[in-house]
Amino acid sequence: MVKPIFDGRALYADGPDENLFHADKVRPVFNEKNSEVVRRPAFGVSMASHAIACFSTHLCKEEGEAMKDFVSAMSSLQKLLSDSDLQEAFQGLSYEKALATKFKHVEAHTAILWKWFKVNKNELYPLLSKIMPLAAAAYSSSFHLLDLLVHLTGLGSYAEQVRPTKEVEDIYEKWKKDPVKYFPQYMFRAFEARRNIEVKKPATDKTFHDDAEDEVPFVFASNAETSGIQKDDSPIRRSAASRKRKKKKRSSSSTSASKESKSSASSGRTVKENKKKEKKKKDKEKKDKKKEIKEKNKDKKSKKQRRKTDESSDSDHDARNEAAQEAKELRETTAFSAWPLEEVKKCQDMAVELQKKLEESKEDQQPVEEIRTVLSLFPIDVLNLRLFPEIPADGDVDQDKANDAVRLAILLASQAESFWSSSSLANEQA
């Protein structure tokens, strides 16, 4: 049901998200295979209630301070993520989109991400610490709320889905006949049955430790007698076990007497043998101590080496980043120096006028030909400095693509003008 999709949606459903949230569409999703509320009602309702209570506690904590912090943090995160180059990098690193361009921009987009995370890391950690606890509680509780909503508002269908255990078979039959009247009684008996099962389990058996562990044997009324879970605690079996314990006790007494006689025979061991053992023990301790010191020194060397590697990696990152920046500046210098200032200003004026027309024009009355004309005046090396939207040679142009193309054209012209104003070539051309 949950799957991030490239179009920005997180719910994996056909059509709009709201179409998914109807009982007839959601009920088949929550069945015995993936809903504890159906498979084991006492466990499922308990887990769902715990998750919803956790979320409610977060919402109401300190008069809603957690929610205020969450909203504030989300607002700050939105500002950090609003950079157009960053959004383009995140979208471009989606495999499907990267594949469409034959991974042409992967290196550039990766460099943008690395720089963004490095610059904003001190802001991101505290923001995520305020967002994630409430987001996690909301994620968990919303599914549990939906699970309970589907089943508790359709008790007849819910009763049909449940497979009763032997302990609640009688009340289940009543519940099935009158779902609304007997549902509370059924849940009471289900909770009691759960407690009785857990009480019978040995203390070392972690099968029923808590609601998070769902690998629990399920004994249905139809196969309880053949499941092998019920223990035979008859008097005959208890008597046989008692005889075995007595026999084992007698055997233990004779073994003890034999050990005592052997002990007196071995008490005459010489002092020399004892000294040899003591010496062996000390030698072993020394050897173990040397080995421990050696391991510690080895760990120290390994940590030192890792630190050197990390430092080297950081310096390599910085060097690559500087190299990428230098390459970008070189491309800009080469492209702008081949574009005369007079042509730059002409293109800039035309692009600005074109932007005004676009703002005033309707979607079906765009100055398509003028867009193509303006872009054709730009040198190809200059256009290659930015990732322009594709403008076909004929036919209509998408309004968003047209706006982006003109905006990028104005930006490039402005950069070229700044280049000429700060370059000695401007004086020479003048």
**Is 80 exceeded by the pLDDT of residue 337?**
yes
Is residue 129 domain-shared with residue 42, that is, in the same domain? yes
Report which of residues 423 and 239 the model is more confident about: 423
Is residue 34 domain-shared with residue 92, that is, in the same domain? yes
In this predicted structure, what is the pLDDT of residue 424? Answer: 53
Residue 186 lies in a domain: no
Mean pLDDT of the chain: 76
Instruction: Note down the domain range covering 413.
Output: 338-429
Residue 165 lies in a domain: no
Is residue 48 domain-shared with residue 128, that is, in the same domain? yes
**Is 50 exceeded by the pLDDT of residue 28?**
yes
Among 125, 153, 181, give the residue marking a domain's end. 153
Contacts of 290 (CB under 8 A, 6+ apart): none
Is residue 313 domain-shared with residue 333, that is, in the same domain? yes
Contact 80, 140 (CB under 8 A): no
Is residue 279 domain-shared with residue 390, that is, in the same domain? no
Cα(52)–Cα(83) distance, rounded to whole angstroms? 36
Report which of residues 231 and 304 the model is more confident about: 304
pLDDT in tens, 37-79: 999 999 999 999 998 898 888 777 656 777 888 899 999 999 9
Is residue 303 domain-shared with residue 417, that is, in the same domain? no
Helices 65-81, 41-60: inter-axial angle, 10-degree rounding: 80
Is residue 77 domain-shared with residue 141, that is, in the same domain? yes
pLDDT average, residue stretch 195-211: 63
Contact 135, 55 (CB under 8 A): no
Percent of the chain surpassing pLDDT 90? 18
Total number of domains in the chain: 3
In this predicted structure, what is the pLDDT of residue 74? Answer: 92
pLDDT average, residue stretch 357-376: 75
Is residue 109 domain-shared with residue 130, that is, in the same domain? yes
Is residue 333 domain-shared with residue 343, that is, in the same domain? no
Is residue 382 domain-shared with residue 298, that is, in the same domain? no
In angstroms, what is the C-alpha Rg of the chain?
38
Is residue 69 domain-shared with residue 141, that is, in the same domain? yes
Is residue 283 domain-shared with residue 378, that is, in the same domain? no
**Is 90 exceeded by the pLDDT of residue 212?**
no
Residue 58 lies in a domain: yes
Residue 265 lies in a domain: no
pLDDT in tens, 104-145: 889 999 999 999 999 999 999 999 998 898 888 888 888 899
Residue 38 lies in a domain: yes
In this predicted structure, what is the pLDDT of residue 45? Answer: 93
Name the pTM for this structure. 0.44
Q: Which long-range contacts (CB under 8 A, 24 or more apart) does 401-409 make?
A: 402/358, 402/366, 402/368, 402/371, 403/358, 405/371, 405/375, 406/351, 406/354, 406/355, 406/358, 406/371, 406/374, 407/355, 409/347, 409/351, 409/374, 409/375, 409/378
**Is 50 exceeded by the pLDDT of residue 233?**
no
Report which of residues 222 and 395 the model is more confident about: 395
Residue 7 lies in a domain: no
Among 153, 185, 219, give the residue marking a domain's end. 153
11 beta partners: 2
**Is 60 exceeded by the pLDDT of residue 265?**
no
Residue 201 lies in a domain: no
Contacts of 98 (CB under 8 A, 6+ apart): 92, 105, 106
Cα(80)–Cα(119) distance, rounded to whole angstroms? 11
Confidence of residue 182 (pLDDT cuts 50, 70, 90): very high
Among 106, 124, 153, give the residue marking a domain's end. 153
2 beta partners: 11
Residue 193 lies in a domain: no
Cα(117)–Cα(105) distance, rounded to whole angstroms? 18
